[in-house]
Chain A
Amino acid sequence: MNENTFVIDGTPIPFEPGQSILQAALKADVFIPHLCFFPGLKPNGSCKLCTVVVNGRPGSACTLLARPGIEVENNTPELNDRRRLMLQMLFVEGNHFCPGCEKSGNCQLQALAYELEMMTPHFNHFFPSRKVDASHPEAFLDMNRCIMCGLCVQASRDVDKKNIFAISGRGMASHIVINTPSGRLKESNFSSSDKAANVCPVGAILPKRRGFATPIGQRRYDSLPISTQTEFLTTRKA
């Protein structure tokens, strides 16, 4: 076996030193479900959807570096069961109403729920009371849909150099806060062309006045399952 190769579910995967298991897998057209990873940003490791088993030990594929010869379990019934359970957790902890959401069809959470055959949310919904901030001329913030992935926080801080978002609170009370005196987005220098405006895996940050430009049914994940779009997932800018 090549020096820079490891194995996922029996398939040899080449990698470049410094790549994570997730990066190498996607590059080799092997899909590992994930939500809080975005190409070009530092892996956050919080959603835990990409949890795989490496040489017998569970770990996050987005934060573990690929190493020669490691054996990774990924697409197994047991791991997919756990992933489905975590998706159900994400669906019940927030307020996700796909039919009325502009992100439907382009939403990674929804796409993964289809991919992993999540038929119901299973648990009682928490129905939390969360904020909507429509103050900014270019974008809505709908915290009902936020899954705490932290991508907007990082993109705004490290790419846009604006540091507009942060995660505050603890446990179930965790929430996004805005770095303005009033806590509202309109006082910030946020723009819909910011990286932060284009990394949200769900519909928590949505551009205004661009609703339903592509009809539902013709959107990214409507026609092809997310698991077949590995190239897009590694090269996307938005």
Chain B
Amino acid sequence: MSLVNSSVEGVLEPILERYLRNPHHLMQILRETQERLGFIPKWAVDYISEALALARTQIQSVIEFYAFFYDSPCGKYRILFSDNVTDRMQGNTALLARMLSRLGLSQGQVSGDGLVSIDTTSCTGMCDQGPALLVNNHAIPRLSSQRVDAICTLIKNQTPLEQWPSAFFSVEDNIRRKDVLLSAELTNGQALQRAIELGPQGMLAEMKTSNFRGRGGAGFTTGVKWEACRNAPGETRYVVCNADEGEPGTFKDRVLLNSYAELLFEGMSIAGFVIGASKGLLYLRAEYRYMLEKLQATLEARRKAQLLGKNILGQKGFDFDIEIHMGAGAYVCGEETALIESLEGKPGRPRIRPPFPATHGYLGQPTVVNNVETLAKATLIAQNGGAWYKGLGTKLSTGTKLLSISGDCDAPGIYEYPFGVRISKILEDCGARNAMAVQVGGAAGTCLARHEFGRKIAFEDVSTSGALMVFGNNRDMFEVARNFTHFFKHESCGFCTPCRVGTTLLCNLLDKIADGKATSYEMNELSRLHQLLKTSSHCGLGQTAWRPVYDTMQKFRPSYDRRLQQKDFEPAFAMDAALAPAREIMERDDADAHLGNEL
């Protein structure tokens, strides 16, 4: 992008002013700088470093940590194909190849004229309508050959993104089954009003009566978390909503943010009222950038309606407002302490726990971090009471659960079920007739084989943050595990040894198996690494990165075995081929210059 009429100050000053030169807003300042300039040049780093009194290295480490920040030009049109296993099943590989060939590019390369670059990225949360891509961080789902060709033409003609057909960017909700949350008809402020009437302690009591557990994956009792935060000593308190929905196969929060944002914001306000916070932060994953303006408009409307701001609903002293903070492409930020680091303008490396965010969270203050679905449901509990909520679901898992269903089924989308629903019932409802396996809970979740379809979705049985990917009879479960393991390698933050090196070693072993050069030796190596990652990794990412491999090795062993050689060991490389450069130097290619078969 040219800088005619736009000096350094001209570009950066308005952005810095908008974020009050607050170093904790570094991620937002960098994002807006990049949206303006296409990448973050060195002069911008120097200027921001000066303006925020931050070390240059801190800015550099943030840029280099997040996948969606670029320190060199990466094309006026930056195309990233979502590469979750569901995108693969929907044919993204062929479409990626088609686009590369049409535009005469190789993957990861920026075109000579600086017009376009094409690469892959982790799951973008469009599994129900994939294959999908991001163009300059805006999602285009439902790719087909025709759509890819049309995109190529738009790029070649240098059509500005705003003039691309709006149909390309339309994302469906695909709600297939509604229960109490998705069919809730609440007037804005109604639940909040009721929480105010109950008072913080009364509302907390309702939460505890409901026995409601967090929907982000860990399943911690929400009322207990809120109470711990409320009682923790601190100058101020924060409510953080984790909308960094990065788990491959999960997209329920996308739908809540798109069509139920009022329920979410109301839930955040209720949490703020209970714990005594005056500020809420919504951490929105970069892949959902397209919803930012709409969400901000919703917040603005709530401010006008006195549902946010000072003396909310006339309640003197109840001040609460919500800010949206965009992520920049890092799955690990779904881990609550990594998310807090990111909110503070740092690379998203998980903190040492304890202390937990409830006592030492954002800026060291007591902080509640809850998932989108958790907060939306807190609104329902405020409205209808804890006893009502407790009556839904099972004894240990009260209420309902949103499931993001994708893969080999007729009706992928969002399904809300009371806890306790069996996998077989879900498969029937979504039209998955030939399912061989389901991956519940995303890449880090559990792989279930057919004989386990009688199991139930519940914290006490199959626990899940909400993803359910269906694999039909013809699918290769080894390739599923390999896709997930490469995802973990890409997303490992690099902080601890077992995860940083271990995820790479896992990938190397799986790639060797895929190449047909592995024996039972590699299978034993996979088992050894699984033990280490599980027990010694710093956070949940490393502690679960072994699961897809482990589960599929146990349950779909033939998909591994048929790739293995029946001998003690096979090297990863071909000896004779490795000698090719030597032959070239010697200018000979006769029989004696080759290794014989005896080797």
Contacts and interface: CB of A to CB of B under 8 A. Distances in A.
B490 A45 contact: no
Given A48-B496, A92-B501, A179-B56, 9 more contacts: A63-B352, A86-B498, A89-B501, A148-B495, A163-B57, A171-B491, A171-B493, A172-B504, A178-B57
A126 interface: yes
Interface string A62-98: 0100000000000000000010011001101100000
Contact of B508 (A47, A124, A147): A124
A124 B572 contact: yes
A139 B316 CA distance: 62
B413 interface: no
Given A179-B56, A181-B56, A169 B535 contact: no
B55 A51 contact: no
Contacts of B66: 170
Given A48-B538, A85-B532, A168-B57, A181 B501 contact: no
Contacts of B55: 163, 166, 179
Contact of A47 (B496, B528, B535): B496
A167 interface: yes
A47 B503 CA distance: 15
A89 B61 contact: no
B352 A48 contact: no
B138 to A, nearest CB: 24
Contacts of B352: 43, 45, 60, 63
Interface of A: 43, 45-49, 51, 58, 60, 63, 82, 85-86, 89-90, 92-93, 123-124, 126, 147-148, 163, 165-174, 177-181
Of B491, B505, B537, the most chain A CB neighbours within 10 A belong to B505
Contact of A148 (B64, B347, B494, B498): B494
Contact of A170 (B494, B498, B501, B538): B494
Given A45-B352, A58-B536, A124-B572, A172 B494 contact: yes
B40 to A, nearest CB: 14
Contact of A166 (B60, B67, B494, B536): B60
7 contacts: A93-B504, A123-B505, A170-B67, A170-B347, A171-B490, A171-B494, A171-B503
Contacts, number: 114
Interface in B285-301: none
Contacts of A46: 495-497, 538
Dominant secondary structure at the B interface: helix
A93 B57 contact: no
B500 A166 contact: no
Interface string B38-51: 00000000100000
A93 B498 CA distance: 11
A170 B57 contact: no
Given A58-B535, A174-B494, A89 B505 contact: yes
Contacts of B535: 51, 58, 82
Contacts of A173: 64, 494
A82 B494 contact: no
Nearest to A172: B504
A171 B536 contact: no
Nearest to B529: A85
B231 interface: no
A179 B347 contact: no
Interface string B468-503: 000000000000000000000111111111101111
B150 to A, nearest CB: 34
Given A89-B502, A170-B64, A170-B494, A82 B46 contact: no
Given A82-B531, A90-B497, A168 B60 contact: yes
A172 B494 CA distance: 6
Closest 9 CB pairs of A and B: A174-B494, A166-B57, A89-B501, A168-B61, A171-B492, A179-B57, A171-B494, A58-B535, A168-B64
Given A85-B528, A179-B57, A47 B497 contact: yes
B293 to A, nearest CB: 29
A93 B500 contact: yes
Nearest to A165: B57
B403 interface: no
Nearest to B49: A179
Contacts of A123: 505
A194 B558 CA distance: 58
A137 B565 CA distance: 55
Contacts of A47: 496-497
B312 interface: no
A92 to B, nearest CB: 7
Contacts of A169: 61, 64-65, 494
B489 A171 contact: yes
B532 A166 contact: no
Nearest to B329: A170
